[in-house]
Amino acid sequence: MPELPEVAAHAERLSAAFAGTPLARFEPMHPAVLKTFDPRPATAASKALKEVGHRGKYLLLRFGESDGGHEASDLTFVVHLMQAGRLRIDTKQDRKPRGGMARWTFADGPALLLTEAGTERRAGVWLLAGDPGAVEPLARLGPDAHTIGRDELAQRLTASSERVHGFLRDQSHLAGIGRLLANEILHSARISPFANTSRLDGEAVDRLHAAIAISIARGLAAEREREDMGRSQDRPSDVHHRVGEPCPACGDAVRSVEYRRYRVAYCPTCQTGGKVLADNTTSRFLK
């Protein structure tokens, strides 16, 4: 699933390509894609795209118009790509594009097409009036991960009392971190993925806070070099997608704990004091 660096860089690309262009129409192409019924999509027609922003893993297509120098009637399409969704420039505008979920057609130039590979069809669009951050799905999100201060992070860690890998991926704690970033952040911070958040000392919190900023900045820099959103395998990583390879920091073999739908990658030397975690969902230390 695209994480904060990929979503943020893609928002910048789409803003550069479409900002200021009036919307002609929005067309849902799958019955489950539009999650809201009020306001109706037709109310966004003729409004100009002000910018494409982001919040956590969500893209925000903000449309509005100027009324005597004051912003009026702002509408925001909130888009969640889920695992296999992509929002790309659509120059062909085929009537039935493969995997088509929704299309934004602009008054001039190409359209924007939301597609989703596979059969699950979980990508979603919400059309919201006013402040989109005040209502679902954005209201439940914690702060964007790269914006959180050290002290607030410490407070959230202490209050949660859970495994730190799960904490990082919980969007109500921090928005924008997924499996890849969680693995990379904890490796950079030299913290076990199964450490309890309430037991991290001040030095560990310092390392974790710094690692969040470093890992997101690294991903964003790499993503800005791309012309389109890439695959997970294309993203910079030291442990994610590198199980069995030497750790770039110490040379030990990168290990993993396997779950049904994902894996937790880590380096024993860097993160668990040399101990290898059991390769099952109990995640106990091997003797």
d(CA 15, CA 12): 5
Q: Which residue is associated with the tokens 């958040």? A: 197
Residue ranges of the alpha helices (H) in the chain? 4-18, 150-160, 164-169, 179-189, 202-223, 268-271
Contact 266, 168 (CB under 8 A): no
Give φ, ψ of 189 to 5 degrees. Answer: -85, -10
Q: Are 194 and 163 in contact (CB under 8 A)?
A: yes
Q: pLDDT class for 280, splitting at 50, 70, 90?
A: low
User: Which has the minimum average pLDDT: 57-61, 62-66, 156-160, 221-225?
Assistant: 62-66
Mean pLDDT (the chain) is: 93
User: Per-residue pLDDT for 205 more than 60?
Assistant: yes
Asked whether 261 and 120 are in contact (CB, 8 A), the reply is: no
Lowest mean pLDDT among 7-16, 104-113, 206-215, 241-250: 104-113
Within 13 Å of residue 8, how many CA atoms lie on the same side as its CB? 20
Q: What integer pLDDT is reported at residue 285 of this predicted model? A: 45
- What is the pLDDT, as a whole number, of residue 261? 81
**Rounded to an integer, what distance in angstroms lies between the CA atom of residue 148 and that of residue 190?**
20
CA angle at residue 152 from 149 to 158, to 5 degrees?
A: 140
Residue 24 parent element (H or E): strand 23-28
Q: What is the pLDDT of residues 42-66, one digit of tens each?
A: 999 999 999 999 999 999 999 997 5
pLDDT band at 73 (very low <50, low <70, confident <90, very high): low
- Cβ atoms of 180 and 232 within 8 Å: the answer is yes
User: What is the average pLDDT across 82-99?
Assistant: 94
Q: Which residues contact 132 (CB under 8 A, 6 or more apart)?
A: 55, 60, 76, 78, 126, 138
Q: For residues 116 and 99, give the distance between their C-alpha atoms in angstroms, rounded to a whole number.
A: 5
Per-residue pLDDT band for 131 (boundaries 50, 70, 90) equals: very high
